[in-house]
């Protein structure tokens, strides 16, 4: 029996790190890069067309959004897909591909990055610590590369999304200021609502939560220019980032409890670790036909989180006392 092959579309800041993780795990990787920016290492097989990846066991989409069309193309050929997209409209479109996935007996995992992605895995871990889950609140800081930075810039100027007491709300982007304390070395930042995909995916994985929100860090300049083209070029290799998830609920005695976990590190590294761990789980254990999100039970989110920690993600949990937490 031949060893599985993992296909990769996009070999930029995050995609190259995903490829490095997969190769380090002894996997064969084939790459198609529509806009080459990082040299492809000799251990990878380079192809000239995305269609050549249809023979792979799973294809990971790491190129700039949108991902919907390529995802549909691979699913139609019966190939499993893992998408790193964080664009809200793109995520909505891919979540609607359940029928296509089932028709062609293939699986699609959407939002397998940092936020969404790692946020869903942290939420699954925190949900295990409360008897009744009522609320989930996500905040993140940092960008993984130029395409990611442009996406976050646009999201801050677009209509936000949140789940509030049984219905979707759409507050304006840049509203809802909240001072959030991220794990060190990131520290405290003002965060605001934006067109983020986390509430959409978290509601799918945790329908019992009555309130779900997501915010992104931003400066006053970011808010003022959010509806304009970016005034300064984004950092070519991304920057340090962090994601923080707060879960609120009740314990078995009915008492209100709040649990918080977060991760800090190079943004591209965090996203790549989650994406690579997801692709490896799909190859090793498979998934039934359908559309899935990080945090759902079908993905075994706790195992995914543990695998991501082995790839360099260091989870910090707020306990109220000075004691280390190991994963």
Between CA 148 and CA 145 the distance in angstroms is 5
Q: What is the pLDDT of residue 39?
A: 56
Residue 319 within any structural domain of the chain: no
Instruction: Please state, for a pLDDT cut of 70, what percent of the chain lies above it.
Output: 92
Among 26-30, 219-223, 251-255, 283-287, the range scoring the smallest mean pLDDT is: 219-223
- Once rounded to an integer, what is the mean pLDDT over residues 267-274? 96
- Once rounded to an integer, what is the mean pLDDT over residues 253-267? 95
> Are 180 and 247 in contact, with CB atoms under 8 Å apart?
no
320 has pLDDT over 80: no
Among 32-36, 38-42, 75-79, the range scoring the smallest mean pLDDT is: 38-42
Q: Residues 139, 263: one domain?
A: yes
Q: Residues 279, 158: one domain?
A: no
Q: What is the pLDDT of residue 233?
A: 64
Mention every residue, 6+ apart, whose C-beta is less than 8 A from residue 21: 272, 273, 276, 277, 311
The first and second tokens of residue 320, run together, are 């109220």
Domain count, the chain: 2
Residue 317 within any structural domain of the chain: no
Q: Residues 263, 273: one domain?
A: no
Residue 324 within any structural domain of the chain: no
Q: Residues 160, 222: one domain?
A: yes
219 has pLDDT over 90: no
- Once rounded to an integer, what is the mean pLDDT over residues 52-66? 95
- Over the stretch 121-152, which tens digit does the pLDDT of each residue have? 999 999 999 999 999 999 999 887 777 778 77
Measure Cα distances from 145 to 44, 173, 303, 320 in Å. Answer: 22, 22, 27, 34
Picking from 34, 3, 5, 8, the residue whose alpha carbon sits closest to that of residue 19 is 8
Q: Residues 89, 48: one domain?
A: yes
Specify the pairing of strand 107-109 against strand 132-141: unpaired
Among 119-123, 153-157, 285-289, the range scoring the smallest mean pLDDT is: 153-157
Picking from 239, 194, 186, the residue whose alpha carbon sits closest to that of residue 213 is 194
The enclosing domain of 42 has a CATH number of 3.40.50.720
Give the DSSP letter of residue 295: T
Q: Residues 139, 98: one domain?
A: no
Domain extent, residue 190, equals: 118-267
Q: Residues 89, 129: one domain?
A: no
Between CA 103 and CA 209 the distance in angstroms is 31
- Over the stretch 220-247, which tens digit does the pLDDT of each residue have? 888 777 777 765 666 666 689 999 999 9
Give the DSSP letter of residue 167: E
Q: What is the pLDDT of residue 1?
A: 52
At 153, the pLDDT band (50, 70, 90 cuts) reads: confident
Picking from 296, 257, 246, the residue whose alpha carbon sits closest to that of residue 139 is 246
Between CA 244 and CA 156 the distance in angstroms is 18
My answer on whether omega of the bond before 223 falls inside 30° of 0, hence cis, is no
Measure Cα distances from 253 to 125, 135, 246, 319 in Å. Answer: 20, 18, 20, 20
Residue 92 within any structural domain of the chain: yes
Q: Of how many residues is the chain composed?
A: 327
Q: What is the pLDDT of residue 237?
A: 65
Residue 322 within any structural domain of the chain: no
- Over the stretch 155-192, which tens digit does the pLDDT of each residue have? 888 999 999 999 999 999 999 999 999 999 999 999 99
107 has pLDDT over 70: yes
Q: Residues 34, 72: one domain?
A: yes
Q: Residues 40, 128: one domain?
A: no
36 has pLDDT over 70: no
Picking from 212, 246, 243, 251, the residue whose alpha carbon sits closest to that of residue 129 is 251
Q: Residues 181, 263: one domain?
A: yes
At 38, the pLDDT band (50, 70, 90 cuts) reads: low
Q: What is the pLDDT of residue 42?
A: 60
The enclosing domain of 165 has a CATH number of 3.30.360.10
Q: Please state the pTM of the whole predicted model.
A: 0.92
Measure Cα distances from 21 to 69, 114, 262 in Å. Answer: 26, 16, 22
């Amino acid at each position: 029996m031949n060893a599985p092959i993992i296909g990769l579309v996009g070999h930029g800041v995050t995609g190259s790190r995903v490829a490095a993780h997969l190769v380090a795990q002894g996997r064969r990787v084939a790459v198609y890069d529509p806009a080459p920016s990082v040299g492809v290492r000799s251990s990878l097989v380079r192809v000239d067309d995305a269609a050549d990846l249809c023979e792979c066991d799973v294809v990971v989409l790491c190129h700039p959004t949108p991902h919907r069309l390529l995802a549909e193309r691979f699913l139609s050929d019966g190939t499993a897909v893992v998408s790193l997209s964080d664009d809200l409209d793109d995520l909505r479109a891919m979540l609607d591909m359940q029928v296509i996935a089932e028709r062609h007996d293939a699986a699609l995992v959407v939002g397998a990055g940092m936020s969404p992605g790692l946020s869903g895995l942290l939420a699954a871990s925190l949900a295990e610590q409360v008897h009744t889950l009522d609320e989930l609140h996500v905040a993140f800081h940092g960008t993984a590369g130029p395409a990611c930075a442009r996406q976050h810039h646009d999201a801050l100027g677009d209509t936000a999304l949140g789940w509030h007491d049984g219905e979707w709300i759409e507050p304006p982007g840049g509203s809802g200021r909240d001072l959030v304390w991220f794990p060190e070395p990131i520290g405290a930042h003002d965060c605001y609502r934006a067109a983020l995909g986390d509430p959409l995916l978290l509601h799918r994985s945790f329908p019992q939560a009555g309130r779900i929100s997501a915010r992104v860090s931003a400066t006053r300049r970011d808010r003022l220019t959010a509806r304009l083209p970016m005034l300064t070029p984004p950092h070519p290799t991304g920057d340090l980032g962090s994601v923080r998830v707060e879960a609120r609920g009740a314990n078995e005695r009915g008492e209100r409890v709040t649990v918080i976990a977060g991760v800090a590190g190079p943004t591209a590294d965090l996203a790549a670790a989650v994406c690579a761990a997801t692709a490896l789980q799909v190859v090793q254990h498979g998934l039934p036909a359908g559309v899935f999100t990080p945090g759902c039970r079908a993905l075994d989110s706790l195992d995914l989180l543990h695998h991501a920690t082995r790839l360099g993600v260091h989870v910090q949990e707020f306990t109220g006392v000075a004691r280390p937490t190991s994963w």
